[in-house]
């Protein structure tokens, strides 16, 4: 059985849930093999989780040059691992950085690339395009399939794997070191999860009325351990950072739960969230288009409904 490589994403020595989703999907395509890229010592703490989710092998490239430059070294290292493993497919989580890595890798190894899959099987990848209006099944017709998969698209299921470590030595070429990272600055507030792969997202729209009212959204998000999003109207008005914009332009999310607060649901916004599993909407306008896709909607004043919901969740958790 051919191997299926999964690029491991980890934060603070922990494998991200999106990687466990990919290891689960990889089993339907071949034998899952994880690939860990990073500075010396990065792989050790990750091994147990990779074994628990069925990785038969763990390819490890430890090289201090992997993190200091924009994506090219990672694509180069992955291409070396791919040459050694001759995989049937290579899966990465659909983050903006991983899509760039996937593209450079695909070109290097002579493979086609598919991005933002919401499902993967032997037939290829399922993608939701044009703001969710069309569902397509696509396949790679040249080389190994390089596919990026949206986080939260697949439910992670444990399965035991040997997770046998295979060290791969890679020397990063000078050509791959053209874009040097001189400083990394963390701007994210507090400990909220990141929008792109959060399993719960609470977003605020124009209905919040004023920038200081955004705390209503944040408070509800924090009771749910959710990431905070915003509509384009709110970002355009300068009430929220562009990084929080959910929509046709901005971030596309597919969480388990999406709560739209004071968002009318313009097509531009729907394009970024309508593949969410469950959608809840709060809006004072009963005719708002967001109610057409909401699984549960409340027509009412967000300033009473949202805090009441936050309070109720706190009560039930207690």
Partner 1 sequence: MNIVVLMKQVPDTEGDRKLNPADNTLDRNAVDPVINYIDEFAIEEGLQLKEAHGGEVTILTVGPERATESIRKALSMGADKGVHVSDEALHGSDAIQTATVIAKALGTVEWDVVVAGSEATDSRMSVVPALVAEILGVPQLSLARKVTIEGPTVTIERVTDSGYASVQGQTPAVISVVEKINEPRYPSFKGIMAAKSKPIATLALADLSLDAGEVGVANAWSAVSSFENAPPRAAGQTIKDEGDGGVKIADFLASKKLV
Site for partner 1 in 96-115 (CB under 8 A): 96-97, 99-100, 102-104, 106-108, 111-115
- Cα–Cα distance measured from residue 118 to residue 128, given in angstroms and rounded to the nearest whole number: 7
Which residue, 169 or 316, has its beta carbon nearer to partner 1? 316
User: Reading across the β-sheet that carries 164-167, which strands appear in turn?
Assistant: 124-129, 113-121, 145-149, 89-93, 3-7, 31-38, 57-62, 164-167
Strand partners, 127: 117, 136
Which residue, 157 or 313, has its beta carbon nearer to partner 1? 313
User: Binding partner 1 by CB under 8 A: which of 235, 240, 246, 263?
Assistant: 235
CB of 175 to partner 1, least distance (A): 5
> Residue 129's CB: how many other CB atoms inside 10 A?
12
Q: Could you say which residues in the range 296-315 bind partner 1, by CB under 8 A?
A: 296-301, 304-313
206 is an interface residue for partner 1 by CB under 8 A: no
Applying CB under 8 A, the span of 42-50, 92-100, 159-167, 208-216 interacting with partner 1 comes to 92-100
Q: Could you say which residues in the range 1-60 bind partner 1, by CB under 8 A?
A: none
- Cα–Cα distance measured from residue 265 to residue 248, given in angstroms and rounded to the nearest whole number: 12
Applying CB under 8 A, the span of 29-37, 155-163, 206-214, 292-300 interacting with partner 1 comes to 292-300
Which residue, 209 or 236, has its beta carbon nearer to partner 1? 236
- Cα–Cα distance measured from residue 61 to residue 58, given in angstroms and rounded to the nearest whole number: 10
User: Binding partner 1 by CB under 8 A: which of 27, 30, 70, 119?
Assistant: 70
Does residue 263 contact residue 271 with C-beta atoms inside 8 Å?
Answer: no
Does residue 4 contact residue 35 with C-beta atoms inside 8 Å?
Answer: no
Q: Of 250, 244, 248, 279, which is closest to residue 266 (Cα–Cα)?
A: 248
Which residue, 30 or 307, has its beta carbon nearer to partner 1? 307
User: Binding partner 1 by CB under 8 A: which of 169, 182, 191, 212?
Assistant: 182
181 is an interface residue for partner 1 by CB under 8 A: yes
Which residue, 165 or 218, has its beta carbon nearer to partner 1? 218
CB of 306 to partner 1, least distance (A): 7
Does residue 140 contact residue 146 with C-beta atoms inside 8 Å?
Answer: yes
User: Binding partner 1 by CB under 8 A: which of 48, 83, 84, 139?
Assistant: 139
- Cα–Cα distance measured from residue 103 to residue 148, given in angstroms and rounded to the nearest whole number: 10
Q: Of 117, 84, 82, which is closest to residue 99 (Cα–Cα)?
A: 117
121 is an interface residue for partner 1 by CB under 8 A: no
User: Binding partner 1 by CB under 8 A: which of 14, 142, 167, 215?
Assistant: 142
CB of 16 to partner 1, least distance (A): 11
Runs of H (alpha helix) within 41-92: 47-52, 72-85
C-alpha angle 115-118-120 in degrees, rounded to nearest 5: 85
Applying CB under 8 A, the span of 26-34, 46-54, 84-92, 181-189 interacting with partner 1 comes to 181-189
User: Binding partner 1 by CB under 8 A: which of 18, 24, 63, 196?
Assistant: 196
Token digits of residue 183 = 């400083």
Identify the DSSP state of 212. Answer: G
Q: What is the length of the chain?
A: 318
User: Binding partner 1 by CB under 8 A: which of 19, 24, 128, 231?
Assistant: 128
Q: Could you say which residues in the range 253-272 bind partner 1, by CB under 8 A?
A: 256-257, 267-268, 271
């Amino acid at each position: 059985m051919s191997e299926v490589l999964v690029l491991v994403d980890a934060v603070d020595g922990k494998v991200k849930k999106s990687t466990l989703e990919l290891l689960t999907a990889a089993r339907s395509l071949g034998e899952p093999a994880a690939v860990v890229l990073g500075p010396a010592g990065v792989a050790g703490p990750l091994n147990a989780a990779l074994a628990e989710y069925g990785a038969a092998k763990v390819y490890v490239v430890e090289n201090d040059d992997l993190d200091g430059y924009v994506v090219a070294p990672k694509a180069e290292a992955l291409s070396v691992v791919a040459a050694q493993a001759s995989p049937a497919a290579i899966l990465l989580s659909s983050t903006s950085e991983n899509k760039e890595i996937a593209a450079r890798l695909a070109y290097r190894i002579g493979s086609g690339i598919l991005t933002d899959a919401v499902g993967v099987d032997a037939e290829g990848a399922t993608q939701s395009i044009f703001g969710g209006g069309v569902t397509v099944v696509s396949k790679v017709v040249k080389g190994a399939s390089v596919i990026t998969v949206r986080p939260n698209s697949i439910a992670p299921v444990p399965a035991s794997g040997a997770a046998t470590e295979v060290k791969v030595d890679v020397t990063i070429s000078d050509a791959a070191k053209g874009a040097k990272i001189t400083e990394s600055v963390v701007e994210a507030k507090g400990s909220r999860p990141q929008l792109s792969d959060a399993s719960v997202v609470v977003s605020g729209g124009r209905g919040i009325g004023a920038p200081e009212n955004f705390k209503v959204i944040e408070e509800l998000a924090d009771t749910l351990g959710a990431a905070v999003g915003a509509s384009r109207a709110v970002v355009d008005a300068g009430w929220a950072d562009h990084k929080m914009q959910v929509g046709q332009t901005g971030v596309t999310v597919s969480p388990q739960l999406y709560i739209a607060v004071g968002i009318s649901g313009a097509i531009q916004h729907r394009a970024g969230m309508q593949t969410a599993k469950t959608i809840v909407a709060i809006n004072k306008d009963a005719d708002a288009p967001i109610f057409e896709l909401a699984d549960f909607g409340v027509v009412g004043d967000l300033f009473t409904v949202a805090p009441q919901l936050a309070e109720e969740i706190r009560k039930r958790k207690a």
